[in-house]
Amino acid sequence: MNKSLTLQDVCILRGGKPLIEVDHVIQAGETLTVMGPSGVGKSTLLAFITGTLPSAFTGMGQILLGDENITQKPSHSRHIGILFQDDLLFPHMSVGANLAFGMPAGGSKSERRAKIEAGLRDVGLEDFADRDPATLSGGQKARVALMRMLLSNPRALLLDEAFSRLDAEMRAQVRDLVFRTAKERELPVLMVTHDAEDAKAAGGEVIELKNLSQA
Amino acid sequence: MLRFLPALTLIAMLGPVIAGLWGTVLPALGQLPSAGLHGPSLDPFRDLFGWGGLFDAARLSAATGLIATALSLGIVALISASWAGTDAFQTLERLLSPLLSVPHAAAAFGLAFLIAPSGWVARLLSPVLTGWERPPDILIVQDPLGLAMIAGLVVKEVPFLLLMTIAAMGQAQPRRSLLVAQSLGYGRVTGWLKTVFPRVYTQIRLPVYVVIAYSMSVVDVAVILGPTTPPTLSVQIVKWMSDPNLSMRLTGAAAALLQLVLVIGALCFWWLGERIIARVGKRWIMSGRRGLLDAPIRVLSLGLGSISALAVFFGLASLLIWSFAAFWSFPNVLPDGFTMRTWTRHGPDAFTTLGETFLIAGVAVLLALALVLGCLEAEHRSGRPLTRRGLWMLYLPLLVPQTAFLPGLQTLLLSIGADVGRIPVIFAHLVFVLPYVFLSLGDPWRSWDTRNAIVAGALGARPWAVFWRVRVPMLLRPILTATAVGVAVSVGQYLPTLLIGGGRVSTLTTEAVALASGGDRRAIGVYGLVQTLAALVPFTLALIVPAILWRNRRNLHE
């Protein structure tokens, strides 16, 4: 089965003027890094893929997961995971509840609980299920956010400057964990960053976005 | 469904206002079929202008409203200029919520108990300083100039405008402007007035207009503290509207239209004043004068602010003491004895009325919350924020004087045979509760990080799941605060309950104000206190509930 993420003739316009253009196939387990100056519309591209494009923008072109065209699907049935530079763990839920929120419904209470425990163990956070997310360190939060996304069974992974808030040591650690997991699960990854280190660690192709409306 | 909510909200808010104005215009032109009167005729206006007290009543309305607004705004500007960003200011900020929640009527009664010839202030000063052995025979409360009424309005409008100013300052980055001004050698007060105030004022302009319209047409405060011969125009309108002689309603309707014109005129006058002050202010800024009179201005503003806050707190304290007072001879500062008699006599009735008050407030606030949350969610999903015109629409029901459209609404309801009573009263309250709930919830709702919604959606949550399971719990505190604001607004409503209830619905406010003419201070104490409690308890709950619910969730406590 084809597990790639395809951006086919994608063009995003603001006020009728083209802002960015991308035409690319990201194979399963590979990473495409998108770089470019801030304000060029990197995050807007991700919003188009998750189906949350602000109304000021118009998106054209197709997004395919494998052979399935998801361009018109609502955000919640796209199965595309996203990580931002902030962990965005829901502050009113425990660590475990955050994970359960993302897991597909079904299964008994104990099965779900076991899945949560296993997920936490995978990222080295055993026995953290009942903790308040606010009591975790930056690196721990980032790992919970990653596991929350993975447990929702995404078919592709988007990273929006996902590592830029972490300090240097944590950053390398979390980054390796993310790319390793993506490879293991054969997920196509699209990463937006302005950090060359991130691009190098990803090891995939790099495209540089130019500001079309200024050029 | 969600798509229609903004329209439905507008109808709930503006429908009664427009219908009420229409219902005012018809009888003002002599058309009142239910009383067998048919127009058009100018007789109602002829009768109105034939009333000897008209000029004084209109002048009182305009003067008390404008002076109270100008004083309140002046005090707020001076306090903010002198103290914004200091510890003292933070203390003041913490006092705001309780001050705001005290109903106008209760604050007015409290003030009356303080400043009356036999009030606390006179008792404290007598007989040593004044030589009074018995209460002096002077008219302090209900004085012909309306000074007591102005004071009663100022103590309630200062906290309101201060809250609006604090909200506006959040966007104006006052600290940095002030720092720059100070480094250029400006004093703190002058620096703030020259750099921050112009931006803040554009933000609080609509609330200021609301204060003008409200102060000019308020009825409960005017009944308690205002002059009686003649009273303010609004009080006289209510008198005409409740006259058993139905034809007096025509005069009342004509007066209601005059009230509307009066408020519009006052707003234009204020607007003109804004231009002039802006021009003078510009010249003052250009002059480069550093104005280093900081110290006296800071002391003055702190004094004025404290007096205004203390007047409310000590007023409530005197309500409390009166409600337990046995015989209390002048000039003793405390009663000669304490008794439960007043509470056993009036307490049960007061608490029954509290039930009715909460029922009306509860339904009105639930409706308002549903509409407001729906509108905000529709705004979020469509990505189209509230326009400037939308904001004006929100303020419109607060800008049209109550006495201009509520009498018409009552007449209209009667003439189409609709029953007056609890349900129409709830919808009349909704007109005033809706904008306040919207204004209270709007900013925190919009400043929520919408990436939370993106993440939740990416995790597979449908839009309504995002709403109920993520956004509402995260915004529980502002939602409860908005609920408390709504309850306080509903509890404080006098005119909608009186007129639309047709005398058959009584809330704590109508009961308390009805006691004003009798002058039974002990009974007033009971009702005033229960009324304050009704408004204060929801605010307390809005603080306690999230604190308990989220006791193990640190990030929800900032």
Question: Could you give the ipTM of this predicted complex?
Answer: 0.90
- Cβ neighbors of B289 (< 8 A, separation 6 or more) are B190
pLDDT at B558: 60
Condensed to tens digits (0 to 9), the pLDDT of residues B478-505 reads: 999 999 999 999 999 999 999 998 888 9
Within B184-219, residue ranges assigned H as helices are: 188-195, 197-217
pLDDT at A215: 43
Whether residue A138 is contained in a domain is answered as: yes
Say yes or no for a CB contact (<8 Å) between A101 and B554: no
Least confident of A164-168, B69-73, B346-350: A164-168
Reading the block at residue B16, the tokens are 């009664």
Whether residue A84 is contained in a domain is answered as: no
Whether residue A186 is contained in a domain is answered as: yes
Helix (H, G, I), strand (E, B) or coil at B338: strand
Whether residue A143 is contained in a domain is answered as: yes
Looking at the predicted structure, is the pLDDT value of residue B227 above 50?
A: yes
Domain count, chain A: 2
Average pLDDT, chain B: 90
Looking at the predicted structure, is the pLDDT value of residue B359 above 70?
A: yes
Say yes or no for a CB contact (<8 Å) between A132 and B470: no
Domains of chain B are 1-29+340-558 (1.10.3720.10)
Helix (H, G, I), strand (E, B) or coil at B325: strand
Say yes or no for a CB contact (<8 Å) between A88 and B460: no
Q: How far is A55 from chain B (nearest CA, A)?
A: 6
Beta-bridge partner residues of A7: A24, A63
Whether residue A171 is contained in a domain is answered as: yes
Which has more confidence, B382 or A33? A33
- Calpha distance B252→B243 (Å, rounded): 10
Q: How far is A209 from chain B (nearest CA, A)?
A: 23
Condensed to tens digits (0 to 9), the pLDDT of residues B154-186 reads: 999 999 999 999 988 877 778 888 888 888 888
Of A168-177, B133-142, B367-376, highest mean pLDDT: B367-376
Condensed to tens digits (0 to 9), the pLDDT of residues B286-304 reads: 988 887 688 899 999 999 9
B442-452: average pLDDT: 91
Beta-bridge partner residues of B37: B32
Tokens 């609980």 correspond to what residue? A113
User: Does one domain contain both A69 and A166?
Assistant: yes
- Calpha distance B217→B277 (Å, rounded): 25
Q: Amino acid identity, residue B58?
A: A
User: Does one domain contain both A147 and A175?
Assistant: no
- Calpha distance B405→B398 (Å, rounded): 11
Reading the block at residue A122, the tokens are 């995978």
pLDDT band for position B91 (cuts 50, 70, 90): confident
Which has more confidence, B420 or B297? B297
- Chain B residues 468-527 with CB within 8 Å of chain A: 469-470, 473-474, 476
Q: How far is A203 from chain B (nearest CA, A)?
A: 25
Who among B382, B462, B555 is closest to A91 (CB)?
B555
B58-85: average pLDDT: 94
- Calpha distance B85→B87 (Å, rounded): 7
Before B538, cis peptide (omega within 30)? Answer: no
Whether residue A60 is contained in a domain is answered as: yes
Looking at the predicted structure, is the pLDDT value of residue B284 above 80?
A: yes
Q: How far is A200 from chain B (nearest CA, A)?
A: 26
Say yes or no for a CB contact (<8 Å) between B383 and A91: no
User: Does one domain contain both A58 and A121?
Assistant: no
Say if strands A189-192 and A5-14 run parallel, antiparallel, or are unpaired.
Answer: unpaired
Instruction: Note whether B386 and B379 are within 8 A (CB).
Output: yes
pLDDT at B33: 77
Before B331, cis peptide (omega within 30)? Answer: yes
User: Does one domain contain both A149 and A163?
Assistant: no
Which has more confidence, B172 or B533? B533
User: Does one domain contain both A162 and A198?
Assistant: yes
CB pairs under 8 A between A and B: 82
Looking at the predicted structure, is the pLDDT value of residue B327 above 80?
A: yes
A-chain residues within 8 Å CB-CB of B452?
A: 88, 90
Instruction: Note whether B298 and B84 are within 8 A (CB).
Output: no
Looking at the predicted structure, is the pLDDT value of residue B411 above 60?
A: yes
Whether residue A52 is contained in a domain is answered as: yes
Q: What is the pTM of this model?
A: 0.90
User: Does one domain contain both A36 and A59?
Assistant: yes
B-chain residues within 8 Å CB-CB of A81?
A: 458-459
Say if strands A5-14 and A57-65 run parallel, antiparallel, or are unpaired.
Answer: antiparallel
Residue of A nearest to B452 (CA): A88
Who among A47, A56, A90 is closest to B470 (CB)?
A90
User: Does one domain contain both A1 and A74?
Assistant: yes
A-chain residues within 8 Å CB-CB of B555?
A: 91, 132-134
The share of chain B scoring above pLDDT 70, in percent, equals: 99
- Calpha distance B481→B450 (Å, rounded): 21
Looking at the predicted structure, is the pLDDT value of residue B144 above 60?
A: yes
- Cβ neighbors of B324 (< 8 A, separation 6 or more) are B335, B338, B339, B340, B342, B343, B525
CATH code, A25:
3.40.50.300
Closest by CA to B81, choosing from B188, B233, B167, is B188
Per-residue pLDDT of chain A (215 residues; tens, 9 = 90+): 578 999 999 999 988 888 888 999 999 999 999 998 777 788 899 999 999 998 889 999 999 999 999 999 999 999 999 999 999 999 999 999 999 999 998 889 999 999 999 999 989 999 999 999 999 999 999 999 999 999 999 999 999 998 988 888 888 888 999 999 999 999 999 999 988 888 898 888 999 887 765 54
Reading the block at residue B261, the tokens are 């014109």
Which has more confidence, B93 or B322? B322
* Start-to-end C-alpha separation, chain B: 35
User: Does one domain contain both A11 and A72?
Assistant: yes
User: Does one domain contain both A6 and A57?
Assistant: yes
- Cβ neighbors of A98 (< 8 A, separation 6 or more) are A89, A90, A133, A144, A148
Reading the block at residue A10, the tokens are 């994608």
Instruction: Note whether B445 and B475 are within 8 A (CB).
Output: yes
B500-522: average pLDDT: 90
Q: Which of A153, A183, A205 is the last residue of a domain?
A: A153
pLDDT at A213: 59
**Phi-psi category of A156—alpha, beta or left, where left has phi over 0 and alpha has psi -120 to 50?**
beta
Within B325-474, residue ranges assigned H as helices are: 341-382, 388-399, 402-415, 422-446, 451-458, 463-465, 472-474
Instruction: Note whether A41 and A13 are within 8 A (CB).
Output: no
Looking at the predicted structure, is the pLDDT value of residue B412 above 90?
A: no
DSSP collapsed to 3 states, chain A? CCCCEEEEEEEEEECCEEEEEEEEEECCCCEEEEECCCCCCHHHHHHHHHCCCCCCEEEEEEEEECCEECCCCCHHHCCEEEEECCCCCCCCCCHHHHHHHHCCCCCCHHHHHHHHHHHHHHCCCCCCCCCCHHHCCHHHHHHHHHHHHHHCCCCEEEEECCCCCCCHHHHHHHHHHHHHHHHHCCCCEEEECCCHHHHHHHCCEEEECCCCCCC
Say yes or no for a CB contact (<8 Å) between A132 and B455: no
B531-554: average pLDDT: 91
CB atoms within 10 A of CB B50: 10
Reading the block at residue B23, the tokens are 């219902």
Q: In this complex, is the C-beta atom of B423 within 8 Å of any C-beta atom belonging to chain A?
A: no
Using a CB–CB cut-off of 8 Å, the residues of A that contact B are 47, 50-52, 54-56, 74-82, 84, 86, 88, 90-92, 94, 101-102, 104, 132-135, 148-149, 152, 154
pLDDT at A192: 93
B360-367: average pLDDT: 97
B291-303: b (≥16 Cβ within 10 Å) or e: beebeebbeebbe
Say yes or no for a CB contact (<8 Å) between A102 and B555: no
Domain range holding A196?
Answer: 1-79+155-215
**Alpha-carbon separation of residue B278 from A213, B282, B554 (angstroms):** 40, 6, 46
User: Does one domain contain both A170 and A74?
Assistant: yes
User: Does one domain contain both A23 and A57?
Assistant: yes
The CA-based angle A135-A128-A94, given to 5 degrees, is 65
Q: In this complex, is the C-beta atom of B261 within 8 Å of any C-beta atom belonging to chain A?
A: no
pLDDT band for position B62 (cuts 50, 70, 90): very high
Tokens 């409530």 correspond to what residue? B316
- Calpha distance A70→A43 (Å, rounded): 19
- Backbone angles phi and psi of A14, in degrees to 5: -125, 125
Q: Amino acid identity, residue B489?
A: V
User: Does one domain contain both A100 and A142?
Assistant: yes
pLDDT at A69: 94
Say yes or no for a CB contact (<8 Å) between A79 and B553: no
Q: How far is A129 from chain B (nearest CA, A)?
A: 13
